[in-house]
Structure 1
Amino acid sequence: MREIALLLKRVAPTSATVLMLGESGVGKTAFAHQLHRWSQRADGPFIEVNCGAIPESLFESEMFGYQAGAFTGAGNRGKAGLMEQAEGGTLFLDEIGELPLATQTKLLKVIQDGMITRLGDTTTRRADFRLVVATNQDLAARVEQGQFRLDLYYRINVLPVSLPPLRERREDIPALIEQHLSRLNQRHGRRKLLDASLWPILMRQDWLGNIRELENWLERAWLSAPSDVIDSDSVKTLLSTCSTNNANGLGNSFGFSNEKSNGIGVNDSFTTADNFHSPNSLSAPAAEGAVAMPIPKLGPNETLKEGLARIEAQWLREMAAELPSTYAIAKRAGISQPSVVRKLKCMLLK
């Protein structure tokens, strides 16, 4: 994510519209907030609007505001819309792909003219905000389907920023866990720690809900743990039921059996020292019938994040030497081709 942060930092001082792309929960809102903090509008408001959460019948009055008496039930003094409230700051439109076509037309006019007209008013007001939009949908496909305006698409697609899913940037998981665990400890006035035995399990989980799922799981684990150490025994139910959308069944993906053993419900292969090796091990226990692989070890004074980055870089170099293209590498690694390109570029920067 380093190159994405560098890109956003470069464009932050400008007024260019930024389009955040990525699955739900990858951190689009967090990056939008950071872009605002880096910008020259940091002292202004950050107005966040979820386009899918406002009913179509209310969207125009909420976004553009209204004059007194503009419609039945309108306030006596009128109301400034969200666009006006973003004056001098940033307007963040999340899930912009959910906008109805009629509303898209009105938004396009504001972007083109830089002016806002309240409902029931004839006076125009200048729109002075930085526009940042986000979506988890393929807007180009929605344009082809006639569900999104082509001219609006070109207007907002000034600087597209694709945020990869968490399963394609597992090196970020340790920092995310530590950051959220610190927030939970501060919020609840405790100092709970994550047992070392959980790290390899959490690292190999796909987290189909991305950062949002990871944070939700960690909060449930924090609340479920009776002591100040969050270990496998205190969260075994969470481990076996989390991410039910996983293709192979989540119990197995976490290294836990779906059946109880000796009243504990944990695989022997996970709990025995012979199979687990040590907290420094980044590999999962080998499944029955699987070929045993060498277990990577952390180097002296090497952090978990640094170790993961080193191993990933080694694998990428080997695949780059053996395979003919980034598409072939992507297929072999089970990630997207843009992610392969991003990771290779990052390796060259270091």
Structure 2
Amino acid sequence: MIYSSENLFRKFLDKGKDDSKTYEELKQLYSILESIIESSYDAICVNDSNAMGVIANEAYTRMTGVRREELIGKSLPQLIDEGTISDSVTLKVLKEKRVKTIIQNIRGKELLVTGSPVYDENGKITHVVSNLRDISDLNKLKSELYESRVLTKKYLNEIKELKQKEGARLMMDGIIAQSKEIIKVLHLTKKVANVDSAVLLNGESGVGKEVFANMIHINSKRVNKPYVKVNCGAIPEQLLESELFGYEKGAFTGADIKGKPGYFEQAHGGTIFLDEIGEMPLELQVKLLRVLQEYEIMRVGGTKTVKVDVRIISATNRNLQELVEKGQFRKDLFYRLNIVPIEIPALRSRRADIPPLTYYFLNNMNEKYKMNIRIQPEVIRCFEEYHWPGNIREMENLIERLVVTSDGEEITVNHLPEDFFSKDSPTKEWSLKELVEELERKVIKETMKEYRTTRKAANKLGISQPALVKKMQKLKINEY
């Protein structure tokens, strides 16, 4: 530790120089005080009543970058004129004669500085002790929080705008589109809604085939007529025929004595949606083909046909053409159902929709559970990299789980389930460290592309220029 000719303590030591015992005690006390100040993690500096620097510990240099030789023996007005410091809490303490706290900028670093006066026995200020704390990390967190809130507001506003745009959102909650892939599908869906042609919705599980079927019915001329949904894979094979086509009284043991109309009769004048059509048994496919050809059905146990007027929409996550080649699906039925095929893209093929969908579901869950959970932008980036084998249904379920299990007010990467980063994931075989590095690489490239220089990019990212250059070398970022 450096002192100004050790004048600070010699004043006290001089009082006991004629008494060797007292002198040694004071000297020992001075040594202890020196160790205490030097071991402090916080930066400490001391100025005398003339605002001259007399003490600075090692933490001061570490925190500010100012060597103690630059501070000791110099007056604070001189340091301000030289640009070493932006302001002085000591001068304020000497003027107002009380403890003061200010934000001080020392060589580009923001510090929280508290100055405390030291009085003599006559009540005069002899020294001012200043404690400095680095608030750069706090400011960085505040900046990240602000950016997160701005980003959240941006996406929520985009969702609001999407609700008002033709082709971006077509009258249905749950279909949010920003990508050209899904907007193209939405245009086709709306177009075929106005005619009665059979529509076959193809797509992986969870892409929202039922939502598109709903849209077709709502935008059709049959909107005020019955809309019947049937999951062909959820009804036992032995019951499916009677459920679809109905049955007459006494048709089988346990049948209603009055008989029962089937789903096709119930949908008369409206629309029937046959989900998981690829699960329909071959023997029933023949009867369904008759409905498509003749628009009539015959109840189980019946002897006469019943005319029906229905619009048929079917959906499957299986490749029906392959099933036809394997003899598991009738070719003639396939052609009847496939008049207007609509391929609904998987979520990983429409990544531009991931951010607005995320905030849409987050907003819904917050309203549902009366919460106000936010989500960090880093989580959105993870979502954009994920494969989403369960598509939109998986995303909605995951966001609900994150909202109800969150132990704070913000969802972070650490809240994501372990299997989200599992090597069994269909994305890439990345560890969490590799995933974080890839996200860093992406963010740095985007920032460099926008700001062009490492100095400006480092300032935007809240790190020093050398740290950015070092990180770019580590991540092997040579072009952007």
2:477 is aligned to 292
1:66 counterpart SS class: coil
By how many angstroms is 1:239 displaced? 3.8
Report if aligned partners of 2:387, 2:427 keep a CA contact under 8 Å in 1.
no
Give 1:248's match in structure 2, choosing from 428, 452, 463: 428
After superposition, where does 1:51-70 map in structure 2 within 5 Å? 51-70=232-251
What code does the residue aligned with 1:196 have? Answer: P
Report if aligned partners of 2:445, 2:477 keep a CA contact under 8 Å in 1.
no
Report if aligned partners of 1:36, 1:90 keep a CA contact under 8 Å in 2.
yes
Alpha carbons of structure 1 residues 280 and 125: separation in structure 2 relative to 1, 3 Å: farther
* 1:123 maps onto 2:304 in alignment: yes
Give 1:76's match in structure 2, choosing from 225, 248, 257: 257
Give 2:286's match in structure 1, choosing from 77, 101, 105: 105
After superposition, where does 1:181-260 map in structure 2 within 5 Å? 181-235=362-416, 237=418, 239-240=420-421, 244-246=424-426, 248-249=428-429, 252=430, 256-257=432-433
What code does the residue aligned with 2:314 have? Answer: V
* 1:31 maps onto 2:216 in alignment: no
Structure 1 Cα separation of the partners of residues 446 and 372 of structure 2: 20
Report if aligned partners of 2:472, 2:478 keep a CA contact under 8 Å in 1.
no
* 1:180 maps onto 2:361 in alignment: yes
What code does the residue aligned with 1:211 have? Answer: I
Structure 1 Cα separation of the partners of residues 187 and 250 of structure 2: 48
After superposition, where does 1:241-280 map in structure 2 within 5 Å? 244-246=424-426, 248-249=428-429, 252=430, 256-257=432-433, 269=437
Structure 1 Cα separation of the partners of residues 278 and 448 of structure 2: 43
TM-score with structure 1 setting the length: 0.71
Structure 2 Cα separation of the partners of residues 275 and 7 of structure 1: 35
Structure 1 Cα separation of the partners of residues 312 and 389 of structure 2: 29
2:396 counterpart SS class: helix
1:155 is aligned to 336
2:149 is aligned to none
By how many angstroms is 1:135 displaced? 1.1
By how many angstroms is 1:211 displaced? 1.2
Count of residue pairs the alignment pairs up: 278
Structure 2 Cα separation of the partners of residues 119 and 61 of structure 1: 6
2:413 counterpart SS class: coil
Report if aligned partners of 1:239, 1:256 keep a CA contact under 8 Å in 2.
no
1:145 is aligned to 326
After superposition, where does 1:291-310 map in structure 2 within 5 Å? 291-292=476-477
Alpha carbons of structure 1 residues 124 and 274: separation in structure 2 relative to 1, 3 Å: closer
What code does the residue aligned with 1:256 have? Answer: L
Q: Which moved more, 1:109-118 or 1:223-232?
A: 223-232
Structure 1 Cα separation of the partners of residues 447 and 226 of structure 2: 45
Q: Unaligned regions of 5+ residues in structure 2, if any?
A: 1-181, 450-470
Alpha carbons of structure 1 residues 191 and 144: separation in structure 2 relative to 1, 3 Å: same
Report if aligned partners of 2:203, 2:343 keep a CA contact under 8 Å in 1.
yes
Alpha carbons of structure 1 residues 237 and 145: separation in structure 2 relative to 1, 3 Å: closer
Report if aligned partners of 1:197, 1:279 keep a CA contact under 8 Å in 2.
no
Structure 1 Cα separation of the partners of residues 334 and 441 of structure 2: 56
Show CA shifts across 1:209-263 (max 9, x none): 211222222122112212232122333546435x9442534xx3xx6249xxxxx
1:91 counterpart SS class: strand
2:222 is aligned to 41
1:348 is aligned to none
Report if aligned partners of 1:200, 1:281 keep a CA contact under 8 Å in 2.
no
Q: Unaligned regions of 5+ residues in structure 1, if any?
A: 259-266, 296-350
What is the aligned-residue identity percentage?
A: 39
Q: Which moved more, 1:68-77 or 1:122-131?
A: 122-131
Highest CA radius of gyration, 1 or 2? 2
1:86 is aligned to 267
Report if aligned partners of 2:296, 2:305 keep a CA contact under 8 Å in 1.
yes
By how many angstroms is 1:281 displaced? 10
Give 1:14's match in structure 2, choosing from 195, 204, 209: 195
By how many angstroms is 1:13 displaced? 1.4
Report if aligned partners of 2:437, 2:475 keep a CA contact under 8 Å in 1.
no
Alpha carbons of structure 1 residues 13 and 268: separation in structure 2 relative to 1, 3 Å: closer
2:228 counterpart SS class: strand
Structure 1 Cα separation of the partners of residues 419 and 402 of structure 2: 7
Structure 2 Cα separation of the partners of residues 108 and 230 of structure 1: 51
TM-score with structure 2 setting the length: 0.53
Show CA shifts across 1:274-331 (max 9, x none): 996699899xxx9997642666xxxxxxxxxxxxxxxxxxxxxxxxxxxxxxxxxxxx
By how many angstroms is 1:270 displaced? 8.0
1:168 is aligned to 349
Q: Which moved more, 1:202-211 or 1:149-158?
A: 202-211
By how many angstroms is 1:115 displaced? 0.8
What code does the residue aligned with 1:71 have? Answer: F
Show CA shifts across 1:166-222 (max 9, x none): 111101111221221222122212222212221111111111221122222212211
Report if aligned partners of 1:195, 1:231 keep a CA contact under 8 Å in 2.
yes
Structure 2 Cα separation of the partners of residues 168 and 275 of structure 1: 19
Structure 1 Cα separation of the partners of residues 265 and 279 of structure 2: 22
Report if aligned partners of 2:264, 2:308 keep a CA contact under 8 Å in 1.
yes
Higher relative contact order (CA 8 A, sep 6+): 1
